[in-house]
């Protein structure tokens, strides 16, 4: 049984990742289009094209992590090694150079690719740690719940910082003499400064995660000369792993839902809701983080009673229904605003329940792969979770910016065209629901039920015991 300090320490890792990830998911689209000055279609293409790079870098990092051997373990050292680069490149990603459009366009590509590289270098090993901090499936769910709870704490802090930022600037005048209606009107250096605060916190949290955690399950990656699996064999095992494909697809659908809604919120508040209403975008998103933190508490008891897959599917049904309901609420009344808040709470509670299950299920997929193929590739398996996160987020960002371009969004207009406003409403309601529905369909075929995982873990325990005695 792992110590409580280790579970808290493990949670601090995703607390750090999530602070930046939520900023990227919720604010990067409007930063690129309204502050950095990229055309929406160029920003959309950037987000999508860079995923081709991630499709290679994530599994490569998984392979590297699986073959890393240090006195601190296989995966844990990357938390220490990548803490400072993660923070520094994050700041530079939200810096706007005083240069031509072409230079800025290239700069955005370079910095986003670098950011995704360091994110991969720390997050793939961090995710893989779930497979080695404990051998028990139920305790993995507990670790995963700690991870997600602290992830939402991090998101809450990041959104709280942006809420204060938003409160301080709305109604003031920016350097161009324009009244600031939302964060999209803020000056570039204001963005760089506020992201710098978040970045410093991220570096500290990664270092604390390294100091407080331990790798208890010792998995030896034997060299090929001693009967170990080759990279080719590891990749073959991955691509022939049916549950991995299904969980990967479901995770992308789930993250597509979150990234489209989250990214659309800033546009929704700036262009559809009355800016004089008490609810701001950052406050709305912060309420969501609180709801997700509350939802995490129910993840373990519900999954133990109904199973991970069934609980996951039920929460996705809920978020799809509640998301669609946003389309029908009145946006110009106080009652409508309270309905929006209520739906945000319900959606966030549901996401908070399902999110820990995703990571715990990837750990189950790793155990399934070890039993089936006789070789453990935990880092490679968990690289897919990072890939799903980034691909779902990028696909959501692309879809958001692409549709805004198609429906005539123009940041310089005092009021957007009616068709543009309808598109923004759809991006907050019906469109993200499609991602949740796709995940539901995919999960209906997922085979690693609770009884099957009990059998797999019993066989693995027997297998590992025999190997240690030889």
Are the beta carbons of 316 and 353 closer than 8 angstroms?
A: no
Are the beta carbons of 133 and 10 closer than 8 angstroms?
A: yes
- pTM, full prediction: 0.74
pLDDT band at 445; cut points 50, 70, 90: very high
pLDDT band at 386; cut points 50, 70, 90: low
Helix (H, G, I), strand (E, B) or coil at 70: strand
Residue that the structure tokens 């409403």 belong to: 425
In the DSSP assignment, the letter for residue 31 is I
Please report the domains of the chain, with CATH numbers, ordered by start residue: 4-213+228-469 (1.20.1250.20)
State both tokens at 426.
């759809």
Are the beta carbons of 28 and 236 closer than 8 angstroms?
A: no
Nearest to 393 by CA among 50, 36, 5, 11: 50
Examine the pLDDT at 111 and tell me if it is beyond 70: yes
Q: How far apart are CA 421 and CA 38, in angstroms?
A: 21
Q: How far apart are CA 299 and CA 350, in angstroms?
A: 9
| CA 33 to chain CA mean position, Å | 21
pLDDT band at 364; cut points 50, 70, 90: confident
Are the beta carbons of 17 and 192 closer than 8 angstroms?
A: no
Question: CB neighbours (10 Å) of residue 402?
Answer: 17
In the DSSP assignment, the letter for residue 226 is G
What average pLDDT does this structure show over 9-25? 91
The predicted-structure confidence for 402-423, as pLDDT tens digits, reads as follows: 999 999 998 878 788 999 999 9
Nearest to 359 by CA among 390, 385, 378, 387: 385
pLDDT at 461: 82
Examine the pLDDT at 114 and tell me if it is beyond 70: yes
Q: How far apart are CA 280 and CA 44, in angstroms?
A: 25
Q: Give whole-number Cα distances, 228 to 59, 234, 376, 377, in Å.
A: 18, 10, 10, 11
Q: Give whole-number Cα distances, 389 to 38, 78, 444, in Å.
A: 24, 19, 20
Examine the pLDDT at 221 and tell me if it is beyond 70: no
| CA 235 to chain CA mean position, Å | 24
State both tokens at 169.
């600037």
Are the beta carbons of 381 and 365 closer than 8 angstroms?
A: yes
């Amino acid at each position: 049984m792992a110590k409580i300090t280790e579970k808290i320490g493990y949670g601090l890792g995703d607390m750090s990742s999530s602070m930046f990830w939520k900023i990227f998911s919720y604010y990067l689209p409007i930063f690129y289009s309204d502050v950095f000055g990229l055309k929406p279609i160029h920003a959309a293409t950037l987000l999508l094209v860079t995923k081709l790079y991630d499709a290679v870098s994530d599994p490569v990092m998984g392979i590297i992590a699986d073959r890393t051997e240090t006195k601190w373990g296989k995966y844990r050292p990357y938390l220490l090694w990548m803490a400072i680069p993660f923070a520094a490149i994050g700041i530079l990603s939200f810096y706007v150079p005083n240069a031509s459009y072409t230079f800025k366009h290239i700069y955005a590509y370079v910095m986003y690719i670098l950011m995704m590289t360091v994110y991969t270098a720390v997050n793939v090993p961090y995710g893989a740690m779930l497979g080695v901090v404990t051998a028990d499936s139920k305790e993995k769910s507990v670790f995963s719940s700690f991870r997600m709870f602290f992830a939402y704490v991090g998101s809450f802090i990041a959104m709280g910082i942006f809420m204060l930022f938003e409160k301080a600037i709305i109604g003031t005048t920016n350097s161009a003499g324009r009244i600031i209606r939302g964060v999209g009107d803020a000056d570039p250096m204001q963005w760089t400064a506020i992201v710098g605060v978040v970045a410093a916190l991220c570096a500290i949290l990664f270092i604390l995660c390294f100091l407080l955690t331990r790798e208890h399950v010792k998995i030896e990656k034997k060299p090929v000369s001693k009967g170990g699996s080759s990279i080719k064999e590891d990749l073959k095992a991955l691509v022939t792993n049916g549950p991995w494909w299904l969980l990967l697809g479901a995770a992308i659908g789930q993250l597509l839902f979150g990234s489209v809604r989250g990214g659309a919120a800033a546009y929704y508040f700036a262009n559809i809701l009355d800016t004089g209403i008490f609810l701001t975008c950052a406050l709305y998103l912060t309420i969501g983080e609180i709801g997700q933190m509350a939802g995490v508490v129910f993840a373990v008891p519900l999954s133990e009673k109904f199973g991970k897959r069934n609980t996951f599917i039920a929460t996705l049904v809920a978020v799809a229904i509640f998301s669609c309901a946003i389309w029908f609420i009145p946006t110009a009344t106080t009652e409508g605003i309270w309905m929006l808040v209520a739906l945000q709470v319900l959606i966030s509670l549901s996401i908070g329940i399902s999110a820990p299950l995703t990571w715990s299920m990837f750990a189950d997929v790793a155990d399934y792969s070890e039993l089936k193929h006789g070789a453990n590739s935990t880092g490679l398996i968990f690289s897919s979770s990072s890939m799903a996160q980034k691909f779902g987020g990028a696909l959501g960002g692309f879809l958001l910016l692409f549709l805004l371009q198609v429906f005539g969004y123009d940041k310089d207009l005092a009021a957007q065209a009616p068709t543009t406003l309808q598109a923004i409403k759809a991006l907050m309601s019906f469109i993200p629901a499609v991602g949740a529905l796709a995940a539901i369909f995919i999960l209906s075929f997922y085979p690693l039920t609770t009884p099957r995982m009990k059998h797999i873990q019993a066989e693995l325990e027997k297998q590992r015991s025999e190997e240690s005695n030889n």
